C-alpha cells in the first residue's frame, strides 16, 4: 500500500514539469499562401514576314461609244506579293492564362493583276496591271496562354477590327498579243482608299528573357473583307465615266512574326 502511494505521488510530481516543457515548445505557425498577382499592363512591338497571297475581284465596263456602263465582269487574279509587317500594341493581363490587347499593324504590298478583256471573243486580249497598296489594321485581340513549360508559354488567340486599304495608282496595260509591246494601250487608274472589317487568328509562344521581358514568336492569319480598288482611267472619265470601276473580293494575309513584350508587374 505504501508503495502505491509513493508511485502516485511521484507521478503527480511530474505534471508541472511536463506543463513547463509544453510551454517551451512553440506552436508551428501556419503560413497562408498569398494569391499570385497575374494582372498588369504590357506593351508589345513586332515585325513580320508576309507571304504572298491571291484573290480576285470585279470591274465595270464603260462603253465610250454609247456612254453607258456595260456588264460587271470578274477580275481573274489580284496578287499581293510577299512583304513585311510592323506592329505595336498595348494590352492587359486579366488572369494567369488570359490577356487582351489593342494593336496597330502596317503592311506594304506590291500588287499584280491579270484578267481577260471584256467582250474579247477569244482573241487573247488581256489586262496586265500593277499597283501598290498600303494597309493598316486596328485590331482588338484576346489570347489564352497555355500552361507553360519553363520559360516557354504557348498561346492562341483571335482578333476583330478594321483595316484601311489604300491602293496606289494602277498601271493598266491592255495586251492584244504580247504584254510589254510598246504599241499596247497603257492607262492609269487612280487607286481607291477604303475602311473594311477584318478578323484574325493567332498562335505562337513567348519565351521569358527576364521577369518582365519576353520574346514573342508566332503566326497570324488575317482576313480583310472586300472593298474599292481603282477608279476609271482618264480616257473613260473624258468620255463620261465616273465612280468606282474595280473592286477586290477581300484577301488573306499570312504572316510569321517576332517581337518583344514588356510587362509592368
Domains and CATH numbers, the chain: 40-264 (2.40.160.20)
Instruction: Render pLDDT for 173-204 as a digit per residue (tens, 0 to 9).
Output: 988 878 888 888 898 999 999 999 999 999 99
Q: How confident is the model at residue 68 (pLDDT cuts 50, 70, 90)?
A: confident
Q: Is 193 exposed, middle or buried (0-12, 13-18, 19+ CB in 10 A)?
A: exposed
- The answer to pTM > 0.75 is yes
Q: How confident is the model at residue 143 (pLDDT cuts 50, 70, 90)?
A: very high
| pLDDT > 90: percent of the chain | 66
How far apart (Å, rounded) are the C-alpha atoms in residues 103 and 85? Answer: 13
Contact assessment for residue 101 and residue 90, using Cβ atoms and an 8 Å cutoff: yes
How far apart (Å, rounded) are the C-alpha atoms in residues 60 and 75? Answer: 10
Contact assessment for residue 110 and residue 134, using Cβ atoms and an 8 Å cutoff: no
Contact assessment for residue 254 and residue 193, using Cβ atoms and an 8 Å cutoff: no
Instruction: Render pLDDT for 96-133 as a digit per residue (tens, 0 to 9).
Output: 899 999 999 999 999 999 998 887 766 778 899 999 99
Amino acid at each position: 500500500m505504501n508503495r502505491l502511494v509513493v508511485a502516485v505521488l511521484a507521478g503527480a510530481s511530474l505534471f508541472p514539469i511536463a506543463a513547463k516543457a509544453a510551454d517551451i515548445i512553440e506552436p508551428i505557425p501556419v503560413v497562408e499562401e498569398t494569391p499570385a498577382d497575374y494582372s498588369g499592363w504590357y506593351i508589345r512591338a513586332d515585325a513580320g514576314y508576309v507571304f504572298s497571297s491571291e484573290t480576285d475581284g470585279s470591274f465595270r465596263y464603260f462603253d465610250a461609244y454609247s456612254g453607258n456602263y456595260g456588264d460587271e465582269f470578274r477580275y481573274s487574279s489580284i496578287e499581293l506579293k510577299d512583304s513585311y509587317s510592323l506592329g505595336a500594341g498595348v494590352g492587359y493581363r486579366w488572369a494567369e492564362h488570359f490577356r487582351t490587347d489593342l494593336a496597330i499593324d502596317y503592311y506594304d504590298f506590291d500588287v499584280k493583276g491579270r484578267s481577260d478583256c471584256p467582250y474579247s471573243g477569244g482573241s487573247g486580249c488581256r489586262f496586265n496591271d500593277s499597283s501598290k497598296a498600303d494597309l493598316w489594321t486596328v485590331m482588338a485581340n484576346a489570347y489564352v496562354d497555355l500552361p507553360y513549360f519553363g520559360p516557354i508559354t504557348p498561346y492562341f488567340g483571335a482578333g476583330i477590327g478594321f483595316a484601311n486599304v489604300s491602293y496606289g495608282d494602277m498601271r493598266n496595260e491592255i495586251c492584244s498579243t504580247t504584254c510589254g509591246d510598246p504599241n499596247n494601250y497603257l492607262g492609269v487608274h487612280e487607286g481607291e482608299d477604303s475602311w473594311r472589317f477584318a478578323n484574325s487568328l493567332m498562335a505562337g509562344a513567348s519565351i521569358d528573357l527576364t521577369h518582365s521581358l519576353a520574346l514573342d514568336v508566332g503566326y497570324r492569319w488575317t482576313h480583310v473583307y472586300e472593298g474599292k480598288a481603282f477608279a476609271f482611267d482618264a480616257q473613260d472619265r473624258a468620255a463620261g465615266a465616273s465612280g468606282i470601276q474595280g473592286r477586290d473580293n477581300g484577301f488573306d494575309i499570312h504572316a510569321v512574326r517576332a517581337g518583344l513584350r514588356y510587362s509592368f508587374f
